Structures are given as C-alpha cells and as structure tokens.
Chains A and B, each alone.
Chain A
Amino acid sequence: MKRNPAALFFVAAVVAAMLFVGFHAARRAGGDASADSLDVAGKPAPDFTLQSLDGKNIQLSSYKGQAVLLNFWATWCGPCKIEMPWFVELQKEYGPQGLQIVGVAMDDASKDEITKFVKEMGVNYTILLGKESVGQEYGGVNVLPTTFFIDRDGKIVAREFGLQSRSLFVDNIKKALSQGHAVQAQK
C-alpha cells in the first residue's frame, strides 16, 4: 500500500499539536509543579480573607506596603516541616524591614491539631486556615509546599514549588522587599 508522505506528515503535526495543547490545558488545570515563576511574576496576588488560629479574619491586602511570603503547607507534609524553622528565622531577620510571613494550612486536620503542630514547630508568624477556593485562586496548589513571594504593592515576584534552598528564599525575600512602595501596614 502506498502512503502519501504529506498526509503522514500532516498526521504527525496534528498529533504533536494535540499533545502540546493537552499538556498546556493540564498544566493550567493542575497547577503544574514544573512551571517556573515567570508566568505569575508581576501579576497581582489574589486577595482573600482567611481565619487565623486565634480566630481573627485576616485579609491578604491588609499587608499592603509590606512584602509577604505566602506559604501553602500542611501538617502531613514532611518538606514543609523543613522550611518552617527557616521561616521563623527569616521572620525575625526581615520582619523589621517589612516582611510578613503567612502560612496557609491546606489541611483536613482540625484547628486544634494545627495549633498543636504550629506550637511544636515554634512558629512566630501568621498561620491561616486554608480553603480550597483560595488554593484554586493560586493555581490549584496541588504541590506542597508552594510559596509565593509578594512585593509591597501586592504583586507576585516569584513562586516556588516544593522544598527549595534557604538561599533561594532569601533572594526572593530581598526581591519582594525591594519592589513596590513601603507604606504603613493598615491592620
């Protein structure tokens, strides 16, 4: 049977195009871990209001004028536990310069269990009780930890998936602190 070379090439091109489109659709839907920060950098961080462990409603935009490290984590996430002592240190070191670290617990665990965990870890920064809807606003958060670095104007500077080096966090914090306008935080 004779095959038409042009037809075969056309089929190959269609298959390739379908795979390409399928991949990008899956990536948008699933919060792909391999996506770098470039596709979110410069975009406004979606605002939300979540309850803190002490029962207060905290709105992300209330931190305008400060740089925010927004960390999605869970009590069952081993790599998240490694970052937490770093965040404690970084909050102490960069807090006076205008950094606020905010941890969002994407957990099925109860508030009491999360509180117990946070106490055991000696956390000194704000912990909020996460909601699926907030995770969706941030691309699905299907990988934990996922960390966003937000500048003083509320724009995303960088996003990191999974456990990263402490030095990368420091670099991103410095970047977030250096961008936007420092104003008195209104709480």
Chain B
Amino acid sequence: MQMTNKPLAIALLLVTSCALAQSPGKKAPSVTMAPVEPVTVTRGKGGAVSLHFRVASGFHINSNTPKSEFLIPTALKMDAPTDIVLTKLTYPQGAEMSFPFAPNEPLSVYSGDFTVSMTVRPLHTVQPGKYAIHGDLKYQACDNAACYPPKHLPVDFEVKVLKGATPAGKNPAQSPHAHR
C-alpha cells in the first residue's frame, strides 16, 4: 500500500468501527447448520447422515430431553419422500449446566457444536436419482439472563440413490410402489 493511502485506510477503518460500535450489545441468538455433502446410498441399504449444528457463542438451547416439562426441547422434524425412510434419529446427550438464573437447577442443554444423526434407507422401489430431503430444527435459546422465542432452522440435504444389485428373484420395476 502506498504511503498516501495509509491514513485513508485508517480513517476508513475508524469510521467503520465507530458505526459498528453502535450495534446492539447483545447478539441475536442463532443456530446454524454446516453444509451437508450429498449422501450416496444404495437402495435397500442404509446410509448414515450427520447434521452438524452450531449454537452462537453466549447462548444455549435446550437438549432434546430437557429436565422440565415446561422447557421446549430441541427437535428435528424431517419430511422425506415416501419411499425413503429416515430412521435412528439420534440426538446427543445434553450437557448438564448451571446458569446464574438457576444455580441450583442444572439444565440439559446444547451449546457450541452438536450433531444430530440419522439413517437414510431408500426402499428397493425407489428409482435411482437425486432426492431432496427437507426438515426443520425447532429450538429455543437463552443466554445467562434472558430467553428468546422458539425458532425454526430449515434443514436440507440431498440423497443420491444408487441402483445397486437387484435381489435374486425380485424385480423392483414390478413393485406396485415403484416410481414411474
């Protein structure tokens, strides 16, 4: 950088910093999901899918099994095509954590990174190809002094179904459930 541009660069940084300093002291709570690579599965067989989520720093959300009936559990609801079965939906165990607002009542929460896994099993009747799987993660976040209304995070990933070997004596194309 040329010498003449240095003061200007500093001025730009300062002015921008001053503007950013106006931003709220508290960040909005958020949960994000890492992009998921397309999952390749042979029809009739199962394939594991792991969804990696991140809770924004300074916040926590209830685990899937919170300790009170009044707390809202983190829950993943998926909507898959009829012939692609999602099974073994597995949530991590929540961390037992105490917070200033309830020092004697540890809560079961997720904070930082957590992973929800499941098995994708396309039936023999599924036509080979790519399928979009949609869903949403419902969560309710809090920080050390406040809570925020429940939110839904869209969850999407792609399943690539391969033909694989046809079981002896079976012809999937003759199945009454075969996609045409």
Scoring B11, B28, B101 by chain A CB atoms within 10 A of each residue's CB, the highest score goes to: B101
The residue on A at minimum CB distance from B66 is: A76
Question: Out of A15, A20, A81, which one reaches B22, CB within 8 Å?
Answer: A20
Q: Within 8 Å CB of B26, what residues of A?
A: 32-34, 143
Instruction: Check B12–A109 contact: CB distance below 8 A.
Output: no
User: In chain B, residues 135-167, which have Cβ atoms closer than 8 Å to a Cβ of chain A?
Assistant: 140, 142-143, 145-150
B13-21, B44-52, B80-88: which lies at the interface: B13-21
Instruction: Check A79–B150 contact: CB distance below 8 A.
Output: no
Q: Within 8 Å CB of B24, what residues of A?
A: 23, 27, 32-35
Give Cα A109 to B150, complex, Å: 12
**Given A23-B23, A82-B102, A113-B70, A163 contacting B15 (CB threshold 8 A):** no
Question: Contact string, A7-27, partner B, CB cutoff 8 A, digits 1/0?
Answer: 011011101110110011001
Please tell me if B107 contacts chain A, counting CB pairs below 8 Å: yes
Rounded to whole Å, the gap between the CB of A23 and the closest CB of chain B is 5
Please tell me if A119 contacts chain B, counting CB pairs below 8 Å: no
Nearest 7 pairs of A and B residues by beta carbon: A162-B146, A19-B19, A34-B25, A16-B19, A162-B145, A77-B147, A12-B12
- Which B residues form the contact surface with A (CB < 8 A)? 4-5, 8, 11-12, 15-16, 18-20, 22-26, 28, 70-72, 99-102, 107, 140, 142-143, 145-150
Q: Once A and B bind, how many residue pairs between them come within 8 Å at the CB atom? A: 105
Show 30 A/B contacts (Cβ-Cβ < 8 Å), sorted by A: A3-B8, A5-B4, A5-B8, A9-B11, A9-B12, A11-B12, A12-B12, A12-B15, A15-B12, A15-B19, A16-B19, A19-B22, A23-B24, A27-B24, A30-B28, A32-B24, A32-B26, A33-B146, A34-B26, A78-B142, A78-B147, A82-B101, A106-B149, A109-B70, A143-B146, A144-B149, A161-B146, A162-B145, A163-B145, A164-B145
Q: Within 8 Å CB of B5, what residues of A?
A: 3, 8
Q: Within 8 Å CB of B107, what residues of A?
A: 78
Please tell me if A137 contacts chain B, counting CB pairs below 8 Å: no
Give Cα A82 to B105, complex, Å: 11
The residue on A at minimum CB distance from B25 is: A34
The residue on A at minimum CB distance from B62 is: A76
Please tell me if A117 contacts chain B, counting CB pairs below 8 Å: yes
**Given A9-B11, A32-B24, A144-B147, A16 contacting B18 (CB threshold 8 A):** yes
